[in-house]
Amino acid sequence: MMRPIIAPSLLSADFSRLGEEIEAVERAGAQWLHLDVMDGHFVPNLTFGPPVIKALRRWSQLPFDCHLMIEPCDAFIPAFAEAGADIITIHAEATPHLDRSLQLIRSLGKKAGVALNPSTPESAIGYVLDRIDLVLVMSVNPGFGGQSFIPSAVDKIGRLHALIGERPIDIEVDGGITAETAPLVCAAGANVLVAGSAIFRGGTGEAYGENIATIRESIAVDGTSVNRAVA
Ligand code: DX5
Ligand code: ZN
């Protein structure tokens, strides 16, 4: 089993110093940067949009993994592409024409992802498998950092893993990821881990490095946990 990609969610970073936070978490071992865009309509919270992402782009060469929690989404997709997104993930629940929205993302030269809320079945991507590069399994109800992991996500990841087969589609999981839950989702087939509060806890670059290492060390090479005894 491959080591998962670690994608810190900037939602838990210091919003007054986002550029420096990106530098710090990149030095700490981040491989992607996960950017949570919230509209106060699809989810009960507001964050930031394309101008902020554009301003952050010069702070890092890492892939910008943009998680759009906005409904409808199509009208804003070109702005996120222009702002410097590498991966644009939209919610299956937030667009009436998922196939069309995904075609739009790819037409702009970006990787296309679909996010599934905890109550949305894996079959939501059944007819768009050839149009996606990533599926994002929400293991909390989107809107806030620091929530508890919803265990049914593990079963959904396993089903998605089977559905995807040999296709080159990343399985990313987002919400409540810690050293306790990371081994469970990786064993089920996840290969990208988003974590906000578990990585930005401590508020210093040194802490971020330790937090990322703790998550990594929780996952053995075969995907099983090496620290269940302390969980
Ligand atoms: C929630 C966001 C997540 C969030 C995860 O709507 O999509 O990316 O930042 O936060 P933690 O890791 O604290 O659950
Ligand atoms: Zn997210």
User: What are 67's strand-pairing partners?
Assistant: 36, 89
Residue 116 CB less than 6 A away from ligand 1 = no
Helix ranges restricted to H, the chain = 18-27, 50-56, 77-83, 98-107, 152-164, 182-188, 197-200, 205-217
31, with CB counted inside 10 A (0-12, 13-18, 19+), is middle
> Which ligand neighbours the alpha carbon of 215 most closely?
1
Give the HSE-up count for residue 82: Cα atoms under 13 Å, Cβ half-sphere: 8
142 pocket-lining for ligand 1 (C-beta < 6 Å): yes
Nearest CA to ligand 1 atom 6: 142
Per the CB < 8 A criterion, the answer to whether 95 and 72 are in contact is: yes
Q: Partners of 5 in the beta sheet?
A: 192
Edge-to-edge order in the sheet of strand 5-8: 5-8, 192-195, 170-174, 134-138, 111-116, 87-91, 64-69, 33-38
Nearest one of 141, 145, 215, 162 to 184, comparing CA atoms:
215
Average pLDDT over the chain, rounded to whole? 95
Q: Which residue of 6, 10, 12, 192 sits with most ligand 1 atoms within 8 Å of its CB, as the best mutation to test the pocket?
A: 12
Q: Region 209-220: what's the mean pLDDT?
A: 95
Per-residue pLDDT tens digits for 40-73: 999 999 999 999 999 999 999 999 999 999 999 9
CA distance 80 to 66: 8
CA 10 to ligand 2 center in whole angstroms: 9
- How many Cβ atoms sit within 10 Å of the Cβ of residue 189? 19
The verdict on the CB of residue 147 being under 6 Å from ligand 1 is yes
pLDDT digits (tens, 9 = 90+) for 15-38: 999 999 999 999 999 999 999 999
Q: What ligand has the least distance to the C-alpha of 47? A: 1
| 110 close to ligand 1 (CB < 6 Angstrom) | no
pLDDT at 228 over 90: no
> Which is more confidently placed, 227 or 69?
69
Q: Give 195's pLDDT tier (boundaries 50, 70, 90).
A: very high
Q: Kindly indicate the confidence band of residue 222, based on its pLDDT and cuts at 50, 70 and 90.
A: low
In this prediction, residue 224 carries a pLDDT of: 52
- Please identify, in words, the CATH class of the domain defined by 5-222: alpha beta
pLDDT of residue 134: 99
Contacts of 151 (CB under 8 A, 6+ apart): none
Which pTM does this prediction carry? Answer: 0.95
Structure tokens at 193: 């881990």
Query: Measured in Å, how far apart are the chain's first and last C-alpha atoms?
Result: 22
| Catalytic one of 36, 39, 65, 170 | 36
Domain boundaries, the chain: 5-222
Q: Which atom of ligand 1 has the smallest separation from the CA of 177? A: 12
The ligand that comes nearest to the alpha carbon of residue 65 is 2
Is it the case that residue 223 has pLDDT exceeding 80? no
